[in-house]
A and B are shown apart, each in its own frame.
Chain A
Amino acid sequence: MTSLVSLRGIQKTYDGKQLVVKNLDLEVSEGEFLTLLGPSGSGKTTVLMMLAGFETPTTGEIVIAGQHMTRLPPQKRGIGMVFQNYALFPNMSVAENLAFPLEVRKLPTVELRDRVEKSLAMVRLTPFADRRPSQLSGGQQQRVALARALIFEPRLVLMDEPLGALDKNLREQMQYEIKQIHARLGVTVVYVTHDQSEALTMSDRVAVFNDGIIQQICPPKELYERPGNSFVAGFIGENNRLSGVVRKIIDDECLVEIAPGVTVKARKVGVHATAEPTTLSIRPERVKISPQAGEVDTVIAGEVESVLYHGDHIRAHLRGLGPAPFVVKLPNTNGAAATLVAGASVSIGWASRDCLALDLMEA
């Protein structure tokens, strides 16, 4: 796939002292759905604003489709953008909102009407053409904003937390709809969110931002299965953390001592030498309760502190493994919870490929 967007050596500071974005290099392929994910203040929105042209990078350059855009004003970039809270023009009807980008491009009236109609049909809002945005529901407004950003057929569309204001059910429905439109039109999307499940379900690739730096950029599956460092492991999904010291390295595995005399085998991700301190990360759903002999590589004893019933699954907090409670997640199948009673001693275990030895988590 050819690269559509290149960000090269981008740095951004607002006050001349603190860098909001630190030395960013990023390529976005034609037709890709890339999500910028991160906590607030991580620099992801600033990157989007620089792409849109509302902010100028302090250093570095932006190239889109072979054209240098670093200092080009937004109206000359031809990028579609969907804003947080939609930013529909309240003084115009739905149809007028959709016609706006075509009007400023001086499209002939006949073609303009035709495109507006098609666009309305695409987001199933034809009967609402003459309504004002304030007369629509949140989901409908969102669809208008989406249609408006796409109607002038930009090659790149930016979305800034577009689903943040919707409730859960509607959000899932809109996620599906955005994916559908993306697949149908083949447009390139750069999507900003702080919702990790949104990032995982929608994206081709996810870039995890923290502290102005991309911590990891890869497809969603890899992000969850193989987090590159302890920030990503902690930010994407749940994990149990155990701190220890590397004792031995064997190929891509290592032995880590988590308590005097207790050593576990782990996959080597963020460690390089013996005697190095490390954080082990284990996903709660990968832990087995009372494993059969030979089923897992590591077996450890713990005491059940509490059991929480979640309907489709059961969560148990165990004591005796590090300072924080150790979380175990079990699917709610027949008899799964039988052994899990508060106060009971249980043995738990996991495969060594599910236990990652990452860099030391800073406090």
Chain B
Amino acid sequence: MSAPLSAEQMAGASPTAMPADIEKAARRVERRQAFSAALLVLPLIVLIAFAFLIPVGLLLFKSIDNPVVAEGLPETLTALQSWSPADGLPSDAAYTGLKRDIEKAKAEGTLGVIGARLNQDTPGARSLLQATGRRLDATTDADPHQAFIAIDKRWGEPEIFGAIRNAGDRYTLNYYLNALDLTRNTAGDIIAKPEGQRLHINLFIRTVWVSALTAFVCFLLAYPIAYLLAHLPARRANLLMIVVLLPFWTSILVRITSWIALLQKQGVVNDALASLGVIGEAGRLALIYNMTGTIIVGTHILLPFFVLPLYSVMKTVNPNLVRAATSLGASPFTAFRRVYFPLTVPGIFAGSSLVFILCTGYFITPALVGGQNGQLISNIIAYHMQQSLNWGLAAALSTLLLVMIGIVYFLYTRLVRDQR
């Protein structure tokens, strides 16, 4: 038998009068759930932190870190503080400081490192410093100014001191200037590099161009494949999916080598065309060791990255939508253009940004099949990492690449959002 509820009981049941301890208990449950969720992703976070964020952060730091000259030639730099190349040669104090710095560096064995660092900006500075170090002992303390000029007449010109001062900042933007084809003159002003040394900007432009072109070719190839995959009966779709994924099962080097066999001057494609009489022996096509090669091979390697996201989006498009459009009077083409295609744009966006970003970072492919004009920015970064050991410049180039991809991605997102 239920009696009518009293006013107090009614109030107790309403959520506004929730007792404080229930609220606390609810929050405790929530906290426990959040904690167990965090535990699940903890291994990944640790891995990313130690294998990705910290190393990349340290490398990016290298692009502004510049300790060698600042720590190697401290007294020289102090004496040069108020000096400007327009004043002519620096004071005797600078020469005295330089002498002491060089002697100290010799004793510590760091003279070679300092010379190498100066050589990055001023070719010949390494040998100058080494030679000066060797012959400095023979001179007296009497007049360091004259003594230096006697060793090498370059010490009698202000340029070398300007170079030392430009390289002497503990933290520097000079690597970025270099990466953007800029440099500093002896007075420390930012100027464009001489024509023949401008290299990076063109490489950045070429990287964007090649990546965009690869993404576009991938789009042209992937759209019909993904459409077929999404609309075939399951059994045949699975077979086609295996064919799409087949390239993933083969080593990238094997695939590139096969492309070389196919595309080179005496390769399968050229031989076939020549024997069919489409091209003459003299007119064999240059399909590899140039930008064409980079794009062909890059497209092949990256195609699955376009097909898969596009396929997964197409799978979600309700087939009744196209039917509805035709039943409302639209031709199959109009139905595709107005209904189906707009609904697959997110897949195109995902696929093209994936291919574009992977392509900007590719360096094995261009290194092997790119020849002279198929090299991308990553190849220069690899060169400075492995050959020239100018890590500061490599780091600056990498940072700029990262920023560039960020900007492209941002613009692209805006474009896609406006279009929808």
Contact = CB atoms under 8 A, between A and B. Distances in A.
A79 B320 contact: no
B221 interface: no
Contacts of A148: 328
A87 B318 contact: yes
A87 B329 contact: no
A104 interface: yes
Interface string A56-92: 0000000000000000011101111101110111110
Given A83-B324, A87-B323, A91-B420, A101 B329 contact: yes
Contact of B339 (A54, A79, A91, A101): A91
A100 interface: yes
Interface residues of B, number: 20
Contacts of A81: 323-324, 327-328
Contact of A74 (B320, B326, B338, B342): B326
B183 to A, nearest CB: 51
- Kindly state the interface size class of chain A when it binds its partner: 20 to 34
Nearest to A84: B320
B330 interface: yes
A105 interface: yes
A77 B323 CA distance: 13
B386 interface: no
A88 B339 CA distance: 10
B339 A73 contact: no
Contacts of A89: 321, 324-325, 338-339
B321 A87 contact: yes
B192 to A, nearest CB: 48
Given A74-B323, A81-B324, A100 B318 contact: no
B324 A75 contact: no
A235 interface: no
B327 A74 contact: yes
Contacts of A54: 323, 327
B325 A100 contact: yes
Chain B binding surface SS class: helix
Contact of A104 (B318, B320, B334): B334
A90 B328 CA distance: 16
Contacts of A91: 339, 342-343, 420
Contacts of A83: 320, 323-324
B36 to A, nearest CB: 32
A245 interface: no
A73 B330 CA distance: 11
B258 interface: no
A152 B328 CA distance: 8
B301 to A, nearest CB: 32
Contacts of B327: 52-54, 74-75, 77, 79-81
Contact of A101 (B328, B342, B343, B420): B328
Given A91-B343, A91-B420, A100-B338, A75 B321 contact: no
Contacts of B257: none
B127 interface: no
A88 B327 CA distance: 12
Interface of A: 52-54, 73-75, 77-81, 83-85, 87-91, 100-101, 104-105, 148-149, 152
Given A74-B326, A87-B321, A89-B339, 4 more contacts: A87-B318, A87-B324, A101-B329, A148-B328
11 contacts: A54-B323, A75-B335, A83-B324, A84-B320, A87-B323, A89-B321, A90-B321, A91-B339, A104-B331, A105-B329, A152-B329
Name the 8 nearest CB pairs between A and B, nearest first. Answer: A101-B328, A87-B324, A87-B320, A81-B327, A91-B342, A74-B326, A104-B330, A75-B326
